[in-house]
Structure 1
């Protein structure tokens, strides 16, 4: 099943002589269960593409279909619903609410979605247990290490059982050990059938994905499968959560 379908998408910021063309006719599809790394230097358009995939921005031209729905036809209210229900976000800077516990942070997307309190609590506890943080549920972000904060962010991304997880430089603020922990979780999610798209500038991170897309000056210059070359995910990876 095709989860993400990008068709000849362009994105231009500004007008006239100051216009910047961030994307130049990008086309790609992501199938259910894909584990995709999007790579590119600063200014290549990878962050712009991720924002469009996450329904945080809209193309200047072209079409983007999420789970078969043309995102360009949705009003702001329906777009917000789609983001909440079908996309799980993981950011480089974690984006946790400072004065809320890990548990409350993970419950947040469900609260926005109108899920009842008891069900929110049950699902958030399960998500935190899945990333190995069942003993840190009452800790606020400033009481957690960077790696633990990112694991909370992953639990928050998973708690609504999204169609796709979008991770923007998820290891960018982590040390080597925490990076390995987070990548092992992503490997496990992929092994369980989750669809994952991540942005990274690190070859070591991209090597864990099944497929690598490279952008240069707003264009896709390479899109290759690498399982046959690089082999399967490391044996330490454990499935986390259920596939959708």
Structure 2
């Protein structure tokens, strides 16, 4: 099952078996001469629909650079990147912004919620950018909040919510466009142990429901919840293994 954009809306449609995310020979080079930095050195990775992948690596390993490219926040120096069948490697800024809004659901460490704005309005934002009508935006946002167990907090502003609840609002916002890929960057980095467990339990449920999740983390216990672990070192993938409980 793959999500396609049809008449301005994402709809689940039976499709040929193909990766949701497929990168081949990806390189990223910053600077010139003696200041040249090779952040990625020929990275290749394929992720199937419904997979749950954790990407780990020490500082300078290239994981942040890879995250930015996967999220269409940056472009590679060489190589190809296909997201849900679309080659995004050479798209211009306007088209990259469209892909980010419609095909990727982001969950950030710092939540990135708008202050003094209700939870439901925060969740509606990607739909507003996509031009979805207000009534439909509200319906879909409330449904997404219900999925993360916060239907009763729809009118609460971020400062009225715990850190774990704010991150769950961020997860709802990531889900509301029915993206092909959920990209979570250190999603538990600012949470206590209880809130961490709440957020990871939701990611587990989303994986069980068939969502495709890629999570960047430096925490081994968080990475252990994923079904596949990819490790980067010096701009290259050094390990790519299935973990316990893999489907």
For normalisation by structure 2, the TM-score amounts to: 0.91
2:173 matched to which residue of 1?
156
Deviation at 1:151, TM superposition (A): 0.2
- Select the residue among 217, 225, 233 that pairs with 1:200: 217
1:139 matched to which residue of 2?
156
Mean Cα deviation higher: 171-180 or 60-69: 60-69
1:65 matched to which residue of 2?
82
Deviation at 1:232, TM superposition (A): 5.9
The 3-state SS of whatever aligns with 2:232 is strand
CA gap of 1:17–1:164, structure 2 versus 1, over 3 A, is same
Mean Cα deviation higher: 19-28 or 148-157: 19-28
1:231 matched to which residue of 2?
245
Pair 1:183-2:200 in alignment: yes
Q: Deviations over 1:187-224 (max 9, x none)?
A: 00000000000001111111111100000111000001
Q: Deviations over 1:44-89 (max 9, x none)?
A: 1111101101100000111111112211232222221111110000
Q: Is the 8 A contact 2:27 2:77 kept in 1?
A: yes
The 3-state SS of whatever aligns with 1:193 is coil
Pair 1:88-2:120 in alignment: no
Q: Deviations over 1:67-113 (max 9, x none)?
A: 12211232222221111110000000011111211111000000000
Pair 1:126-2:140 in alignment: no
**Matches of 2:34 and 2:61, distance apart in 1:** 20
1:238 matched to which residue of 2?
none
Mean Cα deviation higher: 111-120 or 140-149: 140-149
Mean Cα deviation higher: 162-171 or 141-150: 141-150
Pair 1:46-2:63 in alignment: yes
Pair 1:79-2:93 in alignment: no
Aligned-residue Cα RMSD (Å) equals: 1.1
Aligned residues: 230
Gaps of 5+ in 2: 1-17
Gaps of 5+ in 1: 234-244
Q: Deviations over 1:163-206 (max 9, x none)?
A: 01000000000000000000000000000000000001111111
- Select the residue among 23, 31, 35 that pairs with 2:40: 23
**Matches of 1:125 and 1:69, distance apart in 2:** 30
**Matches of 2:198 and 2:22, distance apart in 1:** 30
